[in-house]
Amino acid sequence: MEYDQVREVDPAVADALAGELERQERTLAMIASENHASEAVLEAQGSVLTNKYAEGYPESRYYAGCEYADDVEQLAIDRAKELWGADHVNVQPHSGTQANQAVYFAMLDPGDRILSLDLTHGGHLSHGHPANFVGQLYDVEQYEIDPETGYIDYDALRDLAESFDPDVIVSGYSAYPREVEWERIQEAADEVDAYHLADIAHITGLVAAGVHSSPVGVADFVTGSTHKTIRAGRGGIVMCDEEYADAIDKAVFPGGQGGPLMHNVAGKAVGFGEALEPEFTEYAEQVVENAEALGERLAEHGLSLVSDGTDTHLVLVDLRESHPDLTGGDAEDALAAANIVLNANTVPGETRSAFNPSGIRAGTAALTTRGFGTEEMREVADLIYRVVDDHDSEDVIYEVGERVDELCGQYPLYE
Ligand SMILES: *Cc1c(COP(=O)(O)O)cnc(C)c1O
C-alpha cells in the first residue's frame, strides 16, 4: 500500500499515513472495537463515491446521477438483510452513535426515559452518559453488572424497569465479555411496555456468523457499528421491523444527517459481502476461541477476569486483586511501549476513575484477522502478563517488544 499520490501533493499527510500503516503492521491491535479491514474494503472507502451527494434512499433521491450510488446502497442493504435476517435495514448512519441517535429521535420525545447500562459497567456514551447528547436530552436511569459474578443483573434490571418505567431499555455493550440474554431484557421491556434497543456494535460480526445469539426478531431495534467484529467499512447500521421502517429512515435522513457517506456505504457493501462467505463464519468462531485462550492463559498467570472468562471477542481484566498498585492506565502505557495496543477500562464496582481505571480490555478480532490462532494467543497472554507484572522494567518491555516484532513479521497485514 503506497500513498504515492498523497506524497506528491502533501508529504506531511503521506508521512502520517505511512506511519500509521507501519504502526498497524508492527503492533498487536487488541483494542476490542478495532479490526483490520480488507484492502477491498479500504479501496471502496477510498473511492470516487466520496464525491457524490445522494440524500434520500435508493430510487428516491434528492439529486440526479445517483444510479451507481443506488446500486451500492441496495447491495449493502440486501447483504445486511441476509447477514442479520432483519426486515428493514438502514445503512446510512455515519457511526454507531448516530444509529442510536436515529432510534431515539424516531421513538422518543425530549425528556422521555431511557434505561441503560452504566458506562463504567460496560455501557456506551450514546446510551445516556451526561456528557453525551443522550444524557442531556433524555431522562436516564442505569442498571449495573453484578460485581460478584460479572454478569448483568437481570433481576435488578427488571426491578429497576418497574420502578423507573422507561420508554426504552437499551441492551448491548462495549465491555461485556458474556453472551447477552436478549429475551430476558425483552421480558423486562414487555412488562413496562417499553421499546427494546439492542446495540450490537461490538458483536455485529459474531451475531452475523451465529456464534453469538441474535437480538434480531427479539428487540424492536437493533443498531450496530460496521467496522468492529463485522470488519466492513466504517459507520453504523439500524435494523428493525417493517412497521418502524419509515420512522427510522426519516430519523436518519433528514432527521439527523444530510448526505450519506456513500464511499463508506460502499465499504459496508464490500465488507458485508465478505462476511457472507463461509470463511467469515470460521473467522468469527476463531475470534471467540482466541478470546477464550487469551483469557484462560491470563487467568493461569493469576490475573482476575471479570465474569471469570468470555463468550465473545473480548476479555476484561480487573487488576485490583493481582496488582493492586497498578492502574489500567499504567498497564496500557507499558503494554503500548512493548507494541501491544489495548485500552484501560473501568470494571464493575470501579474504585478508581474513568480516566485512570482499574482494568484493561483486550479483544481478539484484529489479531484473528491477521491469522493468529489459539497457540499465538496463549503466547500473547504470556507477553501481556510479563509486561503487566514487570511494568517498570525497560528490559522486559524491550524483550517483549522484540517478540511482538517477530510475531508481526510472521503474520503480515497488508502484503
Ligand atoms: C462502539 C460502540 C458504539 C458506536 O460507536 P461509534 O464510534 O459511534 O461508531 C455504540 N455502542 C456501543 C455499545 C459501542 O461499543
- Report the alpha-carbon distance of residue 137 to residue 113 in Å, rounded: 10
pLDDT per residue as tens digits for the range 150-175 = 999 999 999 999 999 999 999 999 99
Report the pLDDT value the prediction gives residue 47, as an integer from 0 to 100: 98
Q: Is residue 227 part of a domain?
A: yes
Give the number of domains in the chain.
2
Do 265 and 310 fall into the same domain? no
Describe the crossing of helices 394-410 and 11-26 by its angle, rounded to 10 degrees: 90
Report the nearest-CA residue for atom 10 of ligand 1: 96
Q: Is the minimum distance from the CB of 176 to ligand 1 under 6 angstroms?
A: no
pLDDT bracket for residue 2 (50, 70, 90): confident
Do 73 and 198 fall into the same domain? yes
User: Position of cell 467499512?
Assistant: 233
Please give the model's pTM, rounded to 2 decimal places.
0.97
- Report the alpha-carbon distance of residue 73 to residue 61 in Å, rounded: 12
Q: Is residue 27 part of a domain?
A: no
Do 143 and 201 fall into the same domain? yes
In contact, 375 and 368? CB cutoff 8 Å = no
Report the pLDDT value the prediction gives residue 355, as an integer from 0 to 100: 85
- Report the alpha-carbon distance of residue 154 to residue 162 in Å, rounded: 12
354 labelled ligand-binding: yes
Do 222 and 347 fall into the same domain? no
Atom of ligand 1 nearest to the CA of 174: 15
Query: How close is the Cα of 96 to the center of ligand 1, in Å?
Result: 5
Beta pairing, strands 113-117 & 139-143: parallel
- Report the alpha-carbon distance of residue 166 to residue 248 in Å, rounded: 20
Do 179 and 75 fall into the same domain? yes
Q: Is residue 34 part of a domain?
A: no
- Report the alpha-carbon distance of residue 394 to residue 40 in Å, rounded: 40
Q: Is residue 161 part of a domain?
A: yes
Cα distances (Å, whole numbers) of residue 63 to 44, 59, 77, 284: 22, 11, 20, 39
Q: Is residue 373 part of a domain?
A: yes
Query: By C-alpha distance, which of 272, 215, 174, 259 is closest to 86?
Result: 215
- Of the three residues 220, 255, 275, the one that is the final residue of a domain is 275
383 labelled ligand-binding: no
Do 222 and 331 fall into the same domain? no
Query: How close is the Cα of 172 to the center of ligand 1, in Å?
Result: 10
- Of the three residues 252, 275, 298, the one that is the final residue of a domain is 275
In contact, 110 and 137? CB cutoff 8 Å = yes
Do 75 and 95 fall into the same domain? yes
Give the residue-averaged pLDDT of 84-109: 98
Which residues form the domain of 89?
A: 43-275
- Report the alpha-carbon distance of residue 92 to residue 224 in Å, rounded: 12
Question: What H or E segment, with its residue span, contains residue 197?
Answer: strand 195-199
Domain containing residue 173: CATH number: 3.40.640.10
Do 222 and 349 fall into the same domain? no
Do 115 and 158 fall into the same domain? yes
Mutate to test the pocket of ligand 1, among 199, 207, 230, 346 (most ligand atoms within 8 A of CB): 199
Three cell numbers, residue 332: 496500557
50 dihedral zone (left: phi>0; alpha: psi -120 to 50; beta): alpha
280 labelled ligand-binding: no
Query: By C-alpha distance, which of 195, 252, 236, 251 is closest to 219?
Result: 195
Domain containing residue 401: CATH number: 3.90.1150.10
Do 194 and 136 fall into the same domain? yes
Q: Is residue 280 part of a domain?
A: no
Question: What H or E segment, with its residue span, contains residue 115?
Answer: strand 113-117
Q: Is residue 2 part of a domain?
A: no
Report the pLDDT value the prediction gives residue 1, as an integer from 0 to 100: 81
Do 218 and 155 fall into the same domain? yes
160 labelled ligand-binding: no
**Would the pLDDT of 22 be above 90?**
yes
pLDDT per residue as tens digits for the range 175-187 = 999 999 999 999 9
Q: Is residue 145 part of a domain?
A: yes
- Of the three residues 232, 256, 275, the one that is the final residue of a domain is 275
Do 264 and 384 fall into the same domain? no
pLDDT bracket for residue 24 (50, 70, 90): very high
Report the pLDDT value the prediction gives residue 415, as an integer from 0 to 100: 75
